[in-house]
């Protein structure tokens, strides 16, 4: 089940990145995107509840697997060793429980930060602008203002780097759990998982990094 929930969350991340990149579109594109989501009304709450369930269920399964493995080797091992074949023990695989926990805490902060603007009440959240002909919260201004702050920008980048670790092993594990376990296939899936995680997260990292380095005035940001 961790594989199925993990794959579902990967699709969510792809869609989330596509939406986030609209910040480099027209001056209204990102706010139109966020308003379109908010205009779904009760359906949006159903979708959000589904995502919360997916994240929490995935986290609970992960913690359960980690605890079972910990109980199975109470005294621990001095070194990792497989019984044959190529080892998939990596920094990513060994740190899944820790990167997963950090990501879960980060998600709570992320939602409170940008969806509700609780940590920056004076930035963007009280500004109204036209969003496709309808007035809405200027979340684009909030994001641009926040990512000009070093602590926020590089804090997000640091967590996204951990997501690369978590996602690279998680993507490989998800697909091998669905039957792709042959040595040659497993190697290809592992390589593909690393490429997928790095490319996806570089897309997310580019947003705060570009805004910070250009002071929110880069040529890719339309006004």
DSSP codes of every residue in 128-177: EEEETTEEEE-HHHHHHHHTTSHHHHHHHHHHHHHHHHHHHHHHHHHHHT
- In the chain, the N- to C-terminal Cα span, in Å, equals 45
Angle at 141 between CA 137 and CA 142, to 5 degrees: 80
Q: At residue 45, does pLDDT exceed 80?
A: yes
> pTM score, two decimals?
0.79
> Hey, which residues does 137 pair with through a beta bridge?
128
Helix (H) or strand (E) holding 35: helix 29-38
Question: Which structure tokens are listed for 22?
Answer: 């609209």
What confidence tens digit (pLDDT) does each residue in 61-80 have? 777 877 787 777 655 545 54
d(CA 120, CA 124): 8
* Residue 144 confidence (pLDDT): 93
Strand, coil or helix: what is 123? coil
pLDDT in tens, 132-172: 555 667 888 889 999 999 999 999 999 999 888 888 877 77
Among 32-41, 51-60, 194-203, top mean pLDDT goes to 194-203
Q: Given this model, what pLDDT does residue 133 score?
A: 55
State the pLDDT confidence band at 94, using cuts at 50, 70 and 90. Answer: confident
Axis crossing angle, helix 2-20 with helix 150-176, rounded to the nearest 10: 140
pLDDT, mean over the chain: 79
DSSP β-ladder status, 128-131 and 134-137: antiparallel
* Neighbour count for residue 31 (Cβ, 10 Å): 24
Whether residue 127 has pLDDT greater than 70: no
Per the CB < 8 A criterion, the answer to whether 162 and 103 are in contact is yes
Environment class of residue 12 by beta-carbon count within 10 Å: exposed (0-12), middle (13-18) or buried (19+)? middle
């Amino acid at each position: 089940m961790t594989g199925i929930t993990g794959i579902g969350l990967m699709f969510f991340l792809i869609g989330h990145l596509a939406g986030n990149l609209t910040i480099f579109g027209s001056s209204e594109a990102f706010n139109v995107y966020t308003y379109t989501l908010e205009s779904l009304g009760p359906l949006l709450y159903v979708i959000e509840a589904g995502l919360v369930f997916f994240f929490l269920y995935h986290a609970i399964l992960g913690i359960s697997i980690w605890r079972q493995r910990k109980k199975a080797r109470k005294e621990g091992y001095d070194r990792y060793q497989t019984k044959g074949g190529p080892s998939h023990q990596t920094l990513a695989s060994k740190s899944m429980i820790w990167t997963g926990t950090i990501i879960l805490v980060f998600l709570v902060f992320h939602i409170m930060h940008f969806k509700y603007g609780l940590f920056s009440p004076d930035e963007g959240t009280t500004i109204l602008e036209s969003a496709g002909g309808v007035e809405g919260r200027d979340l684009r201004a909030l994001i641009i203002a926040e990512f000009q702050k070093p602590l926020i920008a590089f804090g997000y980048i640091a967590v996204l780097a951990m997501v690369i670790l978590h996602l690279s092993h998680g993507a490989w594990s998800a697909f091998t759990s669905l039957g792709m376990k042959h040595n040659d296939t497993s190697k290809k899936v592992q390589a593909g998982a690393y490429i997928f995680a790095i490319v996806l997260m570089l897309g997310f990292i580019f947003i705060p990094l570009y805004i910070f380095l250009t002071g929110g005035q880069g040529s890719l940001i339309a006004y």
